[in-house]
Amino acid sequence: MLNSSLAQLGTALRTKKISSVELTQLYLDRIAALNPSLNAFITTNPEFSLKQARAADELLSNGKEQNLTGIPVAQKDIFCAKGWRTSCGSKMLENFIAPYDAHVIEQFNNAGAVNLGKTNMDEFAMGSSNETSYFGAVKNPWDLNTVPGGSSGGSAAAVAARMCAASTGTDTGGSIRQPASLCGISGIKPTYGTVSRYGMIAFASSLDQAGPMARSAEDLALLLNVMTGFDERDSTSLQRDKENYTRDLIKPLNGLRIGLPKEFFAEGLSNDVAECVSTAIAEYKKLGATIVDISLPNSKLSVPVYYVLAPAEASSNLSRYDGVRYGYRAPEYSDLADMYEKTRAQGFGAEVKRRIMIGTYVLSHGYYDAYYLQAQKIRRLIAQDFSEAFKQCDVIMGPTSPSTAFNLGEKDNDPVQMYLSDIHTIAVNLAGLPGMSIPCGFDHNKRPVGLQIIGNYFAEAQMLNVAHQYQQVTDSHNHAPQNLGL
Amino acid sequence: MNMQWEIVIGLEVHAQLTTSSKIFSGASTTYGAEPNRQADAVSIALPGVLPVLNKGAVERAIKFGLAVGAEIPRRSVFSRKNYFYPDLPKGYQISQFDLPVVGNGQLVIHVPAQGKQPACEKVVRLTRAHLEEDAGKSLHEDFHGMTGIDLNRAGTPLLEIVSEPDMRSAAEAVAYAKALHSLVRWIGICDGNMQEGSFRCDVNVSVRHPGDPLGTRREIKNLNSFKFMQQAIDYEVQWQIDTIENGGKVQQATILFNPDTGETRAMRSKEDAHDYRYFPDPDLLPLDISPEWIERIRDTLPELPYAKLERYVKQGIPTEDANILISSREVAEYYDSALRSLLTKGVPTSATNASKLCNWVVGEVSAQLNRDGLSIKESRITADQLGGILKHIFDNTISNSAAKEVFRTMWIDGGDADAIIDAKGLKQVSDSGTIEALVDEILAENTDKVAEYRSGKEKLFGFFVGQAMKASNGKANPAQLNEVLKHKLKG
């Protein structure tokens, strides 16, 4: 059961092989067993989950079910869920009970899915290893000494360890794709504006985008069908007709043009990763694709540009955590300024404070033009690179991350090294394009390698088709971590 | 040293827009609710909430732009102004910075006569007007040693209207503020309630010797009455002049006016000015305003005060009186409908008639309204009824003083003008035979005075008029009476 696809689970539920309550309990038990070692979940609420499961069973008995009815889904702790603690991985919101549902949560509720729990994440989604979480690091199920990636590390680890059938993530600079890659699962960040940001706690508003994480492209398509849709409460939500993302899954790939940017295969890429990606490309050739060499000349600037723009927005987005209305407030202070300073000094972790300081600096009088405005200009150039590239190819492929999972603590004291783990994913956010990661093999330590697929705007269905066809002829995505001590 | 000083004043006015919900959420903007009853998730700035722009606020801003002849840029941008304050829930205010919704415009103001200075008209240039959200309120009473926060007002839509430093006296500044106050109410974008803070003025004041570059300005914050504005500017100007004449220098600062002492005092200096770190709000798309949208709004604009003023002056109303008429749209419209009423009753519009009607509106009607504490919309005599009364003056049925009696009677008891005139016997005597007989009688009774008059004491004319009027019980047509008297006194 734990290795079933969402479609298989749906069938099992519909044919009463298992009830939603039983399935939910199965996962809750597994979470209880594994979470002490993996730390993938911050909060579970069995009573709430089982209540939803019972309601789903009701729908199933009445034949009123949809595709995901009764299926437990883990939610990244960045999404406000009514009645649930929503911490965003921070001490600042350690005791914050959300009084409303994010759009994503509403969508899953309306689909009859079960909220299985809130997954661990880097504090305010700032991190690439899940080590910045106030609730402690998440361990990579493939090797408990390594990181799961971040910021959606809890969601990735939970899927990989079969603690849930699927989960949600958010991706500001790679936070879905990089942990998916490091944990050997599939994840997609759709086009900016496709999934509403309402109720999703903001890190960098112009880059943040939610997406699903699961074991296969087919599962992702089903999840995306639920998550997407116009929402008038988010002014950047796009008014488009609802799509069925499963529609193109089975299309053959004959004539598919795959662009390989030379910049993605440059210095810094681990040999094992390079090899796995090459093998995957070879597989695509067998499936009928042709390879086009392309260049994204400005992509080398994406990390510096990102580390101006994202902190700038974050420094402002996180100003609301001031101890006045909700969240953490320092227990002792002498006056208003002291209350602010102590609250924020104690409530935020080091990485968050670092980014707030960077962001405050680049927006300051006298520096704005040199940093923020300049970065905005380069952001446009990066987007132009992609539109040029898509004149020659249908999808772009490369490694998701330059390396496989690194050791816990390895990059802790070197922020720049940590930032470079998102070197291949960030440009996609800057351009607002959809990007995904699927497993494509293992390195010599049996750590998973991820293949990144980048599509043009709104090409999610095509990307899922490209990923699905690969997963029909390969089996990396079916491997499960073995040494979980169960 | 007795050099001349020139005062330079520019205003920033915050006009609260009349939308029923907030600028970025659906929460109500009604004044006076229990603290935080109108604070929704967006007003509290809960994690994850997002702003959604209220189109009604944009429409009102565009309406204002059109009313001051400003350009409305095709695209404007909302920016975040970042600073920490307990009543600023997000830690930033959504405002507009380098691309405001309304560009350069202008406003014609009427500066009343002051001392030797005659009344005059002046054009004040507007730099811009931009949309922004209001902050909440900090409540310092009722909480021992603590501050309460009321977020009802947080997110209320404001239009900040910025003028060029074109005013040269406190009187001009007040005249500008009044003209703006009248205009925003006129076009219905702001209720203008200064007590409730719907119309708040920040005044930038500096002094210089004529011809010199601009002096250093100090900004008087949050003035909510025209009287205080006048007092604050007067005090501030004198303070700046004294400071400079005593060898000091004016430092740029934000200051507050204390109405109890009549003094201004510095709140913060330029050194501790905030760096607001403005940047475009990534939660809101740039505001695109199509020419069609602008035209649709233009169609809803009423005739504007200045156009009315020009029309009134052309009708023959003195400028000073015309300015009183346009002090509010309701007063002007009352006048307009009374004039229309006269026309439908067969009284042609002439300079005399228009002036007379104007005198009635700004005189008798206003006085009665004031006495009863009513607005002109609540007037007990409609514009049409007023036209009905005045018609009888213009067709010589009753005298002006008799008309006042009709007006007062109708104000209290209601009724029909003709009926009141009949009942009170107010009809004027315009029969030439009757008037001649009356005059003959008076002259016969006062032969000595007639002789005096004829020998050159022409001042006595008034005496004869008075006597004749008295004899007619005030009903003689004065013009006719004058004519007959003049003729008969000649002998």
Chain A interface, mutation test: which of B22, B49, B287, most A Cβ atoms within 10 Å? B49
What are the sequence ranges of the domains in chain B? 6-295, 305-415, 432-489
In terms of phi and psi (left: phi > 0; alpha: psi -120 to 50; beta: otherwise), the region of A263 is: alpha
DSSP symbols for B128-174: EEEEEE---EEE-SSSTTS-EEE-SSTT-EEEEEEE-S-B-SHHHHH
> Is B408 in contact with B437 (CB distance < 8 Å)?
no
Which of A36-50, A57-71, A175-189, B393-407 is predicted least confidently? B393-407
Position A415 scores a pLDDT of 86
Is the pLDDT reported for residue B270 higher than 70?
Answer: no
CA-CA distance, B163 to B175, in Å (whole number)?
A: 13
Looking at the predicted structure, is the pLDDT value of residue B284 above 80? yes
The mean per-residue pLDDT over the stretch A118-132 comes to: 97
pLDDT band at A365 (very low <50, low <70, confident <90, very high): very high
Whether B277 and A340 lie within 8 Å, measured CB to CB: no
Name the residue facing B279 among A200, A201, A372 (closest C-beta): A372
Q: What percent of chain B has pLDDT over 90?
A: 73
Tokens of A484: 């979980």
- Helix (H) / strand (E) containing A417: helix A415-420
pLDDT band, very low/low/confident/very high, at B344 (cuts 50, 70, 90):
very high
Say whether pLDDT at B491 is over 80. Answer: no
Q: State the pLDDT confidence band at A483, using cuts at 50, 70 and 90.
A: confident
Once rounded to an integer, what is the mean pLDDT over residues A247-273? 95
Residues A46 and B25: their CA atoms lie apart, in Å, by 34
* CA of A153 vs chain B CAs: smallest distance (Å): 20
List chain B residues with CB under 8 Å of A363.
82, 277-279
CA atoms within 13 A on the CB side of A118: 25
pLDDT of residue B489: 85
CB A458 within 8 A of CB A434: yes
pLDDT of residue B467: 87
| A407 DSSP assignment | B
Chain A's closest residue to B145, CA to CA, is: A335
Interface test with B, best of A208, A231, A316 (most B CBs within 10 A): A316
Strands in A166-171's sheet, in edge-to-edge order, are: A41-43, A114-119, A72-76, A166-171, A209-214, A186-189, A435-442, A448-455, A395-399, A257-261, A290-294
* ipTM of this predicted structure: 0.96
Q: Is the predicted pLDDT of residue A99 greater than 60, yes or no?
A: yes
- The structural domain count of chain A equals 1
**Residue A1 contacts B, CB cutoff 8 Å:** no
CB-nearest to A236 from B82, B86, B285 is B285
Domain for residue A276, yes or no? no
pLDDT > 70 fraction of chain B, expressed in percent and rounded: 98
Residues of chain A with pLDDT > 90, as a percent, come to 95
Q: What is the mean pLDDT of chain B?
A: 93
Nearest Cα of chain A lies from the Cα of B73 at a distance, in angstroms, of 21
Return the pLDDT at A485: 60
Q: Does A357 touch chain B (CB under 8 A)?
A: no
Strand partners, A189: A435
Residue B272: pLDDT band (50, 70, 90) is low
> Among the listed ranges A110-124, A218-232, A351-365, B422-436, which one has the minimum average pLDDT value?
B422-436
Q: Using the beta-carbon criterion (under 8 Å), do A98 and B45 form an inter-chain contact?
A: no
Q: Which pLDDT score, from 0 to 100, does residue A452 have?
A: 98
pLDDT confidence bin for A308, thresholds 50/70/90: very high
Shortest Cα–Cα distance, A316 to chain B (Å): 7
- Test mutation, B24, B50, B92, chain A, max A CBs within 10 A: B50
Which residues span the domain enclosing A43? 6-256
In a domain, A369, yes or no: no
Does residue A466 sit in helix, strand or coil?
A: helix
**Separation in Å, CA A271 to CA A29, A404, A407:** 39, 10, 18
Comparing B51 with B352, the larger pLDDT belongs to: B51
* Nearest CB to A365; choose among B50, B149, B275: B275
Answer whether A80 sits within 8 Å of B283, measured CB to CB: no
Show which of residues 171-210 on chain A sit within 8 Å of chain B, judged by CB atoms. Answer: 197-202, 204-206
| CATH number, residue A77 | 3.90.1300.10
Interface contact flag, B50 A99, Cβ < 8 Å:
no
Contacts of A205 in chain B (CB under 8 A): 282-283
- pLDDT bin (cut points 50, 70, 90) of residue B476 is confident
Q: What local confidence, expressed as pLDDT, does residue B271 receive?
A: 60
Q: What is the mean pLDDT of residues B258-282?
A: 85
Span B126-135, pLDDT tens digits: 999 999 999 9
Å from A37 to nearest chain B CA?
30
The whole-angstrom distance between A170's CA and the closest CA on chain B is: 13
Backbone φ/ψ region at B232: left (φ over 0), alpha (ψ -120 to 50), beta? alpha
In the predicted structure, residue B1 carries a pLDDT above the cut 70:
no
* Strand pairing class (A209-214; A257-261): unpaired
Tell me what the mean pLDDT of segment B258-273 comes to: 80
Structure tokens at B247: 């060898």
- Dist. CA B14–CA B133, nearest whole Å: 10
Given this model, what pLDDT does residue B433 score?
A: 84
Other C-beta atoms lying within 10 Å of the C-beta of residue B216: 15
Confirm or reject contact between B282 and chain A (CB < 8 A).
Answer: yes
Element (H, E) at A437: strand A435-442
The pair of structure tokens assigned to B322 is 């015309």
Nearest by CB to A197, from B45, B50, B86: name it.
B50
Which chain B residues are within 8 Å of A96, Cβ to Cβ? Answer: 47
Could you tell me which residues come within 8 angstroms of residue A476 by beta carbon, excluding any fewer than 6 positions away?
A184, A438, A439, A440, A441, A442, A448
**Does the pLDDT at position A35 exceed 80?**
yes
Interface membership of A88 toward B (CB under 8 Å): yes
What pLDDT does B67 receive? 97
Q: Is B224 on the interface with A (CB under 8 A)?
A: no
In whole angstroms, what is the distance from residue B150 CA to residue B144 CA?
16
pLDDT tens per residue across span A236-247: 999 999 999 999
pLDDT bucket at B3, cuts 50 / 70 / 90: confident
Rounded to the nearest 5°, which phi and psi values hold at A315? -60, -35
- Structural fold of domain B432-489: Arc Repressor Mutant, subunit A (1.10.10)
Q: Is the pLDDT of residue B371 over 80?
A: yes
Mean pLDDT of A244-260: 98
Q: Which residue has the higher pLDDT, B359 or B32?
A: B359
Tens digit of pLDDT for each residue in B11-45?
A: 999 999 999 999 999 999 998 899 999 999 999 99
Name the residues of A annotated as catalytic.
76, 151, 175
Residue B2 pLDDT: 56
In a domain, A449, yes or no: no
Report the phi/psi class of residue A288: left, alpha or beta, with left for phi > 0 and alpha for psi in -120 to 50.
left
B424 band by pLDDT with thresholds 50, 70 and 90: confident
Res B429: pLDDT: 78
Residues of A in Cβ contact (< 8 Å) with B138? none
Number of C-alpha atoms within 13 angstroms, CB side, residue A59? 24
Asked if residue A117 is part of any domain, the answer here is yes
Between A418 and B290, name the one with better pLDDT.
Answer: B290
pLDDT over 90 at A53, yes or no: yes
Cα separation, A156 vs B339, whole angstroms: 79
Q: Is some CB atom of chain A closer than 8 A to the CB atom of B49?
A: yes
Rg (CA), chain A: 21
Amino acid code (one letter) for A244? N
Rounded Cα–Cα distance for residues A432 and A74 (Å): 25
Q: Which of B22, B46, B98 is the best residue to mutate to test the A interface, defined by the most A CB atoms within 10 Å of its own CB?
A: B46
**What is the chain A residue with the closest CA to B278?**
A363
- 3-state SS, residue B412: helix
Q: Is B91 on the interface with A (CB under 8 A)?
A: yes
3-state helix/strand/coil string of B307-368: HHHHHHHHHCCCHHHHHHHCCCHHHHHHHHHHHHHHHHCCCCCCHHHHHHHHHHHHHHHHHH
pTM of model > 0.80: yes
Q: Which distant-in-sequence residues (6+ apart) come within 8 Å of B200 by Cβ?
A: B13, B14, B194, B222, B223, B224
pLDDT band with cut points at 50, 70 and 90 for residue B430: confident
Other C-beta atoms lying within 10 Å of the C-beta of residue B311: 15
CA geometry: angle B102, B68, B16, nearest 5 deg: 65
Q: With the C-alpha atoms ordered A386, A311, B276, B39, is the resulting torsion angle positive or negative?
A: positive
Question: In this structure, which amino acid lies at residue A129?
Answer: S
Q: Are residues B325 and B335 in contact, defined by beta-carbon separation less than 8 angstroms? A: yes
Alpha carbon distances (Å) from B285 to A320, B96, B140, B282: 21, 13, 37, 7
Convert the pLDDT of each residue in A221-232 to its tens digit: 999 999 999 999
Over 90: is that where the pLDDT of B264 sits? no
How confident is residue A486, by pLDDT bands cut at 50, 70 and 90?
low
Interchain contact B98–A (C-beta under 8 A): no
Say how many CB pairs under 8 Å bridge A and B.
97
Kindly report, residue by residue over A400-410, the tens digit of the pLDDT. Answer: 999 999 999 99
